[in-house]
Amino acid sequence: MRSFINPLFAVLLAGLLAACSSTPTEEDTSATDTMPTDSQSSPAEPVQRPAPAKPDTSNIPVTADNFHNHPSNYDGTTDTKVIYFAFDSNTVPAAAFETLRAHASYLKDNPNAKVRLEGHADERGTREYNVALSERRSEAVQKFLRVQGVSSSQVEVVAYGEEKPAAFGHSEMDWAKNRRAVLNYTAGRP
Amino acid sequence: MMRVLAFPFIVAMLSLLAVNARAELLIQITEGRTDAVPIAVVPFAGAGDVPENVSDIVRADLHRSGQFKTLSPKDMLSRPTSKEGLSYRDFRVLNQEYVVIGTIKPTGTGAYEVGYALHDVARGKELLSETYRPPESQLRDVAHAISDRIYEQLTGIPGAFSTKILYVTHNRGAERPYQLQYADADGARVKTILRSREPIMSPSWSPDGTKIAYVSFEQNGLPKIYVHNLGSAERRVVAQFKGINGAPSWSPDGQKLALTLSKGGNPDIYSLNLNNGDIEQLTDHYGIDTEPRWMPDGEHLVFTSSRSGGPQIYQLNVDDKSVRRVSFEGAYNARPEVTPDGRYLVYVHRRNGSFNVGVQDLQRGTFDIVTQTNMDESPSVAPNGSMIIYGTQHRGTGVLQAVSIDGRVKVELPSKEGEVREPAWSPFL
């Protein structure tokens, strides 16, 4: 299923909304606060604030439905090597963007590095059709990297369908863990 | 499991066969026809020291087809071994419609003489009588040939007891977890063709039964299609293009493989000429086209395509490349197979989240689900069109099951080791 909102825009919008949602107080020591320090006055308009610190996600429960987009799966660096996907989808989740940008930077800085994008699907449905679905997932990651300027000679795509699961159970969460693309560096590991 | 207890003799006998043959496939019938034909296969004379119990194999074959209700020898009033000793009355009182008697004796040169006769109890006459002289190594084959002849005599359809099933097994934790194996249709004489650290998929028989094709990721984790000669154990790579190399399917004349390649940027169906290596692109659509199967006329293919959104079954004319949709029920139809007479399509259909095997009658335009298991996949049709074997899950483990084309007979093949999947029923051998 295709999202109709550009994921990048959604992230920006969320950031802006978060910035505008809090009201200033006397204790606020924000450097760009242009409010008078007189506690009797109230703000005439929202204050310009720097972007908030990375939100604390430890209290958002992980479910099979949000697993692919849960920030706890992505640390924003090349240490994270697995990108997850929603059911029936090959859209790269927004939570993975920073991680993929880190990989893109690494690949551009290290022309000898090569990465194999290994696509996977959950076990439901027929096997060869799942191979094709999993190729679409690798290709989505490949496209993201290419848009970031990575040379196509550094990226290879392989599709495993449901043949190499990461989780061997048959629950929704197992399936969520298997819908993935893995960045497997075959040369010049970060 | 309750039904297994109803046939203790059969289970015990099959276990014995399994131990002798080190089989990994154990086959039990779980649901037969209520109008199954009663037949008595009397233990053959002289069976004592013979390494294979021919009459036991025949009895098990007929039972496993679900078309026959076989009488246990311990319930027989007499055990004739010749026409002279046969009392039809002894079998008529037990409501048997047919009786099979036979003898087996060594010829003194390492071979055996196996003779049998099929009798019609009600009419009190012999229908069929034959003698075989196999070497010891072919005793099981003769038993299955006798089953085939009896089956055909009584049903009009050639028996498929002399066929083989090719399948993939997966043993998590083994050094080479993926294996490609084949066994007799009764689960005996398992042979391993390939062991690999990387996946093996989509095994497929050549129409003459001498070769198989399959996908193996053994080379550097990348998929290639192999053609493997079973007799010589020689094999060669026939497709190793960039991207997907998948779903090989032999043309009826054995000269071509239809397969899925994504080297053009998208998974499409191609035809590969096995003699000269030429490939021809058959579909060209931005959707996913995969899982091709030839129709018996050699001029059409059926395949899975997502061109209308989700996977559905389409038919392609190989000559003019025209495509028309064939499946119309539900949102997910994939992995088509065709019966040998070209009349039925067998494929995986999803309904309410459950994946089942369905049969579409191309003549009448009807569609019926024939399985009640869940997570069904990879159907394969017997060469006589009578049964469908497929992969499914039992208590979370991959197993094979079989069902008759009309859904009335169910056969369970519980796995003894690891997971079993992707069965491919051989042609007549």
Average pLDDT over residues B28-52: 87
The tokens describing A177, both together, are 């863990």
The residue in chain B having the minimum alpha-carbon distance to the alpha carbon of residue A129 is B290
- Interface ipTM: 0.90
Query: Which chain B residues are within 8 Å of A168, Cβ to Cβ?
Result: 172
**Predicted pLDDT at A46:** 61
pLDDT digits (tens, 9 = 90+) for B335-352: 999 999 999 999 999 999
Side-chain half-sphere CA neighbours of B311 within 13 A? 28
- Which residue in chain B is spatially nearest to A168 when comparing CA positions? B396
Task: Compute the distance between CA of residue A114 and CA of residue A158 in angstroms, rounded to an integer.
Answer: 13
Q: What is the pLDDT of residue B21?
A: 33
Residue A151 has pLDDT above 70, yes or no: yes
Given a cut of 50, whether residue B327 has pLDDT beyond it is yes
Among A63-72, A92-101, A132-141, B22-31, the minimum mean pLDDT is found in B22-31
What pLDDT score does A3 carry?
43
pLDDT band at A44 (very low <50, low <70, confident <90, very high): low
Q: Which of B311, B350, B377 sits opposite A127 (nearest CB)?
A: B377
Could B244 and A159 be called an inter-chain contact, meaning their C-beta atoms sit closer than 8 Å? yes
Mutate to test the interface with B, among A114, A123, A126, A163 (most CBs of B within 10 A): A126
Residues from chain B that touch A157, judged by Cβ atoms under 8 A, are 243
Condensed to tens digits (0 to 9), the pLDDT of residues B150-204 reads 999 999 999 999 999 999 999 998 999 999 999 999 989 999 999 999 999 999 9
Q: Mean pLDDT over all residues of chain B?
A: 92
Is residue A9 within 8 angstroms of chain B, CB to CB? no
Q: What's the mean pLDDT in B142-153?
A: 98
Please state the three-class secondary structure of chain B as a single string: CHHHHHCHHHHHHHHHHHHHHCCCECCEEEECCCCCEEEEECCCECCCCCCCCHHHHHHHHHHHCCCEEECCHHHCCCCCCCCCCCCHHHHHCCCCCEEEEEEEEECCCCEEEEEEEEEECCCCEEEEEEEECCEHHHHHHHHHHHHHHHHHHHHCCCCCCCCEEEEEEECCCCCCCEEEEEEECCCCCCEEEEEECCCEEEEEECCCCCEEEEEEEEECCEEEEEEEECCCCCEEEEECCCCCEEEEEECCCCCEEEEEECCCCCCEEEEEECCCCCEEECCCCCCCEEEEEECCCCCEEEEEECCCCCCEEEEEECCCCCEEECCCCCCCEEEEEECCCCCEEEEEEEECCEEEEEEEECCCCEEEECCCCCCCEEEEECCCCCEEEEEEEECCEEEEEEEECCCCCEEEECECCCEEEEEEECCCC
Residue-level pLDDT at B27? 65
User: Strand B397-404 and strand B125-132: pairing?
Assistant: unpaired
| CA–CA distance, B387 with B151 (Å, rounded to integer) | 14
Q: What is the pLDDT of residue B34?
A: 76
Per-domain residue ranges of chain B: 32-155, 164-425
B90-122 confidence digits (pLDDT tens): 999 999 999 999 999 999 898 999 999 999 999
Residue B406 has pLDDT above 80, yes or no: yes
- Tell me the pLDDT band of A60, cut-offs 50, 70 and 90: confident
Rounded to the nearest 10 degrees, how much is the dihedral formed by the CA atoms of B328, B332, B333, B335? Answer: 160
User: pTM of the prediction?
Assistant: 0.85
Test mutation, A1, A127, A136, A143, chain B, max B CBs within 10 A: A127
Tell me what pLDDT residue A177 has: 98
Domain boundaries, chain A: 1-53, 59-187
Question: What residues have CB less than 8 Å from B365, skipping those under 6 apart?
Answer: none
pLDDT recorded at residue B262? 98
If you average pLDDT over residues A108-129, what whole number do you get?
A: 97
| B305, B311 Cβ separation under 8 angstroms | yes
Q: Taking phi first (over 0 means left), then psi (-120 to 50 degrees means alpha), and beta for anything else, what does residue B173 get?
A: left
**A95: contact with B, CB 8 A cutoff:** no
The answer to whether A65 faces chain B, any CB pair under 8 Å, is no
Q: Is 3.40.50.10070 the CATH number for B32-155?
A: yes
| C-alpha distance from B407 to closest chain A C-alpha (Å) | 21
CB contact under 8 A, A132 and B221: no
| Range from A114-123, A159-168, B126-135, B416-425 carrying the lowest mean pLDDT | B416-425
Mean pLDDT, rounded, for B415-420: 80
Structure tokens of B220? 């550097």
The arrangement of secondary structure in A59-187, i.e. its CATH architecture, is: 2-Layer Sandwich (3.30)
Which pLDDT belongs to residue B25?
54
- Averaged pLDDT, A99-123: 98
Q: Decide if B223 touches A, using CB distance below 8 A.
A: yes
Look at residue A121 in the predicted model and tell me its pLDDT: 98
Helix (H) or strand (E) holding A14: helix A7-21
CATH class of B164-425: mainly beta
Token representation of residue B175 = 């050094």
Residue-averaged pLDDT of chain A: 82
